Amino acid sequence: MILGDFLKALGQLHDRRFLKVLVLGILLALALLGGIYAITVGMIGWFVPASFTLPWIGEIAWVQDLLSWGSLALMLVLSIFLMVPVASAFTGIFLDDVADAVEARHYPGLPAPLRQPFGEALADSLKFLGVILIANLVALVVYFLSGPFAPLVFWAVNGFLLGREYFQMAAMRRLGRGGAMALRKRHSGQIFAAGLLMAAPLSVPVVNLLIPVLGAATFTHLFHRLNGDPFREAK
């Protein structure tokens, strides 16, 4: 059933409204990675001289270039972890746009969704971003101790957190905060499984750029399916 929700989301990826949000999401991710890379290169240039001389060896002028290229490779690895906060930020910024497109196509005739005040939505997004960052910093110790099982720990931690947040945001559009929390608690197992489906591809560079959009759409379908008759998909 969860796979069906994902496949319906994937089938709408060509939708113009999806493509608009997808481009914005990719630009957000690239801006974050580019900003961190620029800061890293700047720090290398600041602390590492362009050239220096060692006894019996002579002048060395390649260390700065080596570190710069090495930092680029490091960014590709870090993108696995950095895409998680990007995905969390995505919920507050773009989820409504994706959910509107999904509902317009698959659930026509619905009343207008509830809209959070901007300040409240921003506070929720920042709070969740903080939870994501703290949880992953704490889990770093577990990652190192887990050896070959580290990816499973990474997926479990972030699958739980992202699934919880994406479903909460999708459900709040229709049920409000209290109703969304109640529905989430009743279906925590399916929501966790859907979160895993979202977290695992986030660890694949390039592919992870598509996941925030597909995740928002998948959880919109998941909400309507779990909520039952009031918002059943139009036939």
Q: Is the separation of the CB atoms in 196 and 156 below 8 Å?
A: yes
**48-71 per-position pLDDT tens digit:** 555 545 455 544 544 455 555 556
For the chain, the domains span 2-32+79-231
How far is it, in rounded angstroms, from Cα 9 to Cα 216?
Answer: 9
Tell which residue, 33, 27, 67, has the closest CA to residue 49. Answer: 67
**180-199 per-position pLDDT tens digit:** 999 999 999 999 999 999 88
**Single-letter code of the amino acid located at 34:** G
C-alpha atoms less than 13 angstroms from C-alpha of 132 in its C-beta half-sphere: 27
**Single-letter code of the amino acid located at 224:** H
pLDDT of 106 reads 92
Q: Is the separation of the CB atoms in 7 and 218 below 8 Å?
A: no
- DSSP character for 109? T
Identify the bridge partners of residue 52 per DSSP, sorted by sequence position. Answer: 60
Give the β-pairing of 52-54 and 58-60.
antiparallel
pLDDT of 65 reads 56
- DSSP character for 57? T
pLDDT of 58 reads 47
Tokens coding 133: 């960052």
Q: Is the separation of the CB atoms in 148 and 169 below 8 Å?
A: no
- Give the distance from CA 1 to its chain's centroid: 22
Q: What is the pLDDT along the chain (235 residues), one digit of tens a residue?
A: 888 999 999 899 888 888 888 888 778 777 777 776 677 666 655 655 555 454 555 445 444 555 555 566 666 666 666 677 777 777 777 888 899 999 999 998 888 888 777 777 777 777 877 888 788 778 778 877 888 888 888 889 889 998 998 999 999 999 998 999 999 999 999 999 999 998 888 878 778 878 888 899 999 999 999 998 555 554 4
Predicted TM-score (pTM) of the model is: 0.78
Give the chain's mean pLDDT: 79
pLDDT of 23 reads 84
How far is it, in rounded angstroms, from Cα 24 to Cα 20?
Answer: 6
**Taken in order 177, 181, 183, 189, is the CA torsion positive or negative?**
positive
User: What is the dihedral angle through the alpha carbons of 8, 88, 76, 191, rounded to the nearest 10 degrees?
Assistant: -50
